[in-house]
Amino acid sequence: MDPSLIAALSSLITAIGGTVGGILVTRSKVRLDDVAIVQRELDEAKADLEREKQARAADLDRARNQHKTELDELRARHDADIKWHEGRVATLQEQLDARDRQITRLDRWVLAGRAYIARLTRSVIDLGGTPPPRPTDLD
């Protein structure tokens, strides 16, 4: 068999393998990015809910101090706002759970690998060393 033919076939196999690997990594990254986006939205929704509860407490205290008769109306408005925020938190939590179920075994390996690299980097820093620069492919 001609050596140039063997070289051409091995180049073709390498190119196909690289393409398939790139597609798998891209799909994995998109899923993980979706999980991160939903997690961030969930955190924001929880923060909004907490702010709404604090606003309710502050408004109720102000209403009590001013002896307003619209205290029940104020409570109803805040209860509706809090119920809306709680519903949003529940919806986002369901979305996050659904995304977690979509994560494949390969995605879990990627997450475990990233966590392991982070621990190794912390260990190097703790021992007084300087870790190598982080590859842009990990971001």
- 54, 97 Cβ separation under 8 angstroms: no
Nearest-CA neighbor of 114 among 43, 18, 20, 25?
A: 25
Low-confidence ranges of the chain (pLDDT < 50): none
What pLDDT does residue 1 have? 67
Contact criterion met (CB below 8 Å) for 85 and 53: no
What is the per-residue pLDDT for 57? Answer: 84
Count other Cβ atoms within 10 Å, centred on residue 97: 10
